[in-house]
Structure 1
Amino acid sequence: MARIIVLGGTGYAGGHIAAEAASRGHEVVSIARKPPVEKTDGVEYVEGSILDLDGIADQLEGADAVISTVAPRADMADAVPDALQALAERLTGTPTRLGVVGGAMGSLSAPGGPRLYDLGVPEEYKHEAEVGIASLELLQASEPGLDWFLVHPPKVFGSWEPGERTGSYRVGGDVVVEDSEGNSYISGADFAIAVVDEIEKGAHRRERFTVGY
């Protein structure tokens, strides 16, 4: 059993990850600035923020994995890279793995590139895409003592297309995952399976990977 901390654990990705981890018997702590409307059995809910690491230091201590699912929206729009950098520095040299949910736009469109971002991003999604890319770059530049992974969801991933749990997913390395018809999608529940599988198996050390159907 692992002790797993989910930052932003009441959001779409974070909520699914916390629920999946708890269903497997892991010790799960969901940290968010506001409590959820509905709570998941087996998940401990703590009010806190990635912006105040000292305030959640007791929760981070001894964790096997800390998963950041914090999105650069609203008052967090410009805060995520610096907050993630501070978190990465705090975990460097410890046995705690840092997992980050990135954006789809940082993944490659084909082996060798270009990135999805380089093919064009609608203006309303551009900032979030750029923060996701910056997050990947700071992890790649981190000290060797940080054990991290970043997972890119497919093109369609969010509460507007929640889908169902099928128990299946595919990993695409650096390349965005698409099906035979060019669709790029995964449900929140199956995305969470991929993340918790990575926590348990450690297949991607200091690297990113993509998932989808």
Structure 2
Amino acid sequence: MARITVLGGTGYTGSNIVKEAARRGHEVTSYSRKPTENPERGVSYVTASLIDSTERERAVADADVVVATLAPRGEMEAGFVDLYDDLATLASASGARFGVIGGFGSLRPFEGGPRMAFGDDVPAEYAAEGQTLATIAENLEKAAPKNLDWFFISPAAGYGSYAPGEATGRYRVGGDVVQFDENGQSFISGADFALAVLDEIDTPAHRRAQFSVMY
């Protein structure tokens, strides 16, 4: 059993991860700005803003694994990259594994290519958020503390609360290059994405690496 802290644990991605972690019997703590209306049994919920450095220290302390599912929106938009850099430093100092949930735009169109979020064809409404998450992936690869055990997961293109899908108990793992199925589709349900995250926590296969999850 691991002590898992999920940052943004009441959001779409975070709540699915919290649910799967609790189902497996882990000791789970959720941090979020808003309380949940549907708490999971046995989960500790903390309502706090991680803009506060003291709350960040508190969130990372005593955790075996910290999973960050935050989004660079609202009050968190400014300084988001610095916030994640600080979380990485705190996790490194405490010995916690640091998992970051990114976006599809953090992947590359081909091996060694630039991350898609930095391309010219990204819709304006998604550009800023995609570039922020892609920058965090870049920072982890190039400048993460040497002793930090991190992983960065990008979901499929068709992933989000707008298309929750169903739990199938299956998924496919790739590297940092985009993948599509035999029909040219890229999708993963919230439940199966959480399954992949917990499988990585329970049986680490990607240390200091980015990977993707889809069907």
Query: What TM-score does the superposition give when structure 2 sets the normalisation length?
Result: 0.94
Shift of 1:60: 2.3
Identity %: 47
Which runs of no fewer than 5 residues in structure 2 stay unpaired? none
Q: Does 112-121 or 42-51 show the bigger shift?
A: 112-121
Name 2:122's counterpart in structure 1: 121
Name 1:10's counterpart in structure 2: 10
Matched, 1:72 2:101: no
CA RMSD of aligned residues (A): 1.5
Which runs of no fewer than 5 residues in structure 1 stay unpaired? none
Shift of 1:15: 0.5
Name 2:86's counterpart in structure 1: 86
Name 1:157's counterpart in structure 2: 159
Number of aligned positions between the proteins: 213
Secondary structure of the 1:152 match is strand
Distance in 2, matches of 1:56 and 1:44, equals 16
Shift of 1:101: 0.4
Distance in 2, matches of 1:51 and 1:120, equals 31
Shift of 1:58: 4.0
Name 1:46's counterpart in structure 2: 46
Which of 189, 194, 203 is matched with 2:196 structurally? 194
Give per-residue Cα distances to partners, 1:145-185, cap 9 Å, x unaligned: 11111001111111000011111110111122311111111
Distance in 1, matches of 2:54 and 2:191, equals 31
Shift of 1:138: 1.6
Distance in 2, matches of 1:196 and 1:186, equals 15
Distance in 1, matches of 2:56 and 2:85, equals 16
Name 2:133's counterpart in structure 1: 132
Name 2:106's counterpart in structure 1: 106
Which of 177, 180, 188 is matched with 2:179 structurally? 177
Give per-residue Cα distances to partners, 1:73-102, cap 9 Å, x unaligned: 122122321110111111214321000001
In structure 1, give the amino acid aligned to 2:189: S
Shift of 1:61: 1.9
In structure 1, give the amino acid aligned to 2:138: E
Secondary structure of the 1:159 match is coil
Give per-residue Cα distances to partners, 1:21-47, cap 9 Å, x unaligned: 000000000001110121112221111
